[in-house]
Amino acid sequence: MPKCIECSNMTTYENWLCYSCYQKKQKSHVYTDNHPSGLSYNDWIFHYNMIKGRIAETLIQELFLQLKFNVYRYGMENTIPGIMELLRHDNSSVASSIRSMPDFVIQNSTSKEIRLLEVKFRANGSFKINELIKNYPWEDAYIILVSKVSIKCITYKELKEGGEITATSDNHLYDRIEFSNDKAVIIEFCNFATRFFACVN
């Protein structure tokens, strides 16, 4: 695989920067050329983040199907294809509310309990309440955080009470009594996450 011309980490293109170095140079206004793909920096970042998010969502969808939950895609982007591109530059409260809709509704096939899941990917394995929109409206949502080494979970209510997910915290999904009907399956999907996101920033 090609190496970054700045730091020698893996990258996608020959004689170019890795994602991390590209971001640093963009923030410092040192590097303004388009990506080798022809996309502008903003377009490239938008699509890069969308792809990471979609992979994380698919991973969690398949995990809960394996755990024998009924899984339903939620969120406006699943109801109206392309709406995320439409709302991309819209910072209104309406657009923020649409973007904040949880990704899944899941139902325990035994107890019939229904829960809302919001799936996030963070390479650093950290998530705090300030990463959600102000006055997040989904009080009963569970935040599932996929990282390069784990899958962790915290509720919005726990975030409101000062909780957070960090790289070293014990918020493992397999420890949640609501979902841990097969710990071995969850651990195996954590291994999938490690494989899929090993080189992702």
Percent of the chain residues topping a pLDDT of 70: 86
For residue range 73-112, list pLDDT tens digits in order.
Answer: 987 666 666 676 777 777 788 777 777 889 999 999 999 9
Band of residue 18 on the pLDDT scale cut at 50, 70, 90: confident
Identify the pLDDT of residue 47: 82
CB 148 within 8 A of CB 113: no
The count of structural domains within the chain is: 1
Distance CA 106, CA 117 (A): 7
16 domain-assigned: no
- Residue 103 exposed, middle or buried by CB count within 10 Å (0-12, 13-18, 19+): buried
Q: What is the pLDDT of residue 30?
A: 43
Q: Tell me whether residue 79 is in a domain.
A: yes
At residue 110, the 3 state secondary structure works out as: coil
Question: How far apart (Å, rounded) are the C-alpha atoms in residues 115 and 130?
Answer: 22
Identify the CA nearest to 135 among candidates 153, 117, 156: 156
Is 90 part of a structural domain of the chain? yes
With tokens 């609501």, the residue in question is 178
Domain CATH code at residue 192: 3.40.1350
Whether the per-residue pLDDT at 31 is higher than 70: the answer is no
Record the pTM: 0.79
Residue 30 falls within a domain, yes or no? no
Q: Quote the CA–CA distance of 157 and 137 in Å, as a whole number.
A: 11
> Within a domain: residue 130?
yes
Long-range pairs for 50-57: beta carbons < 8 A, 24 or more residues apart: 50/84, 52/121, 52/197, 52/200, 53/119, 53/120, 53/121, 55/121, 55/196, 55/197, 56/119, 56/120, 56/121, 56/146, 56/193, 57/103, 57/104, 57/119
Quick check: is 20 in a domain? no
- Beta partners for 3? 10
Q: For 114-139, what is each residue's pLDDT tens digit?
A: 999 999 999 999 999 999 988 899 99
Domain that holds residue 114: 37-197
Give the pLDDT confidence of 157-183 residue by residue, as tens digits: 999 999 999 999 999 999 999 987 799
The β-bridge partners of 72 are 105
- Position 25 scores a pLDDT of 65
Question: Over the chain, what is the mean pLDDT?
Answer: 85
Q: What are phi and psi for residue 152, nearest 5 degrees?
A: -120, 170
Tell me whether residue 142 is in a domain: yes
Query: Taking the CA of residue 184 as centre, how many other CA atoms within 13 Å lie in the half-sphere pointing to its CB?
Result: 0
Better-scored residue on pLDDT, 186 or 31:
186
Does the residue 25 lie in any domain? no
**Which amino acid makes up residue 135?**
N
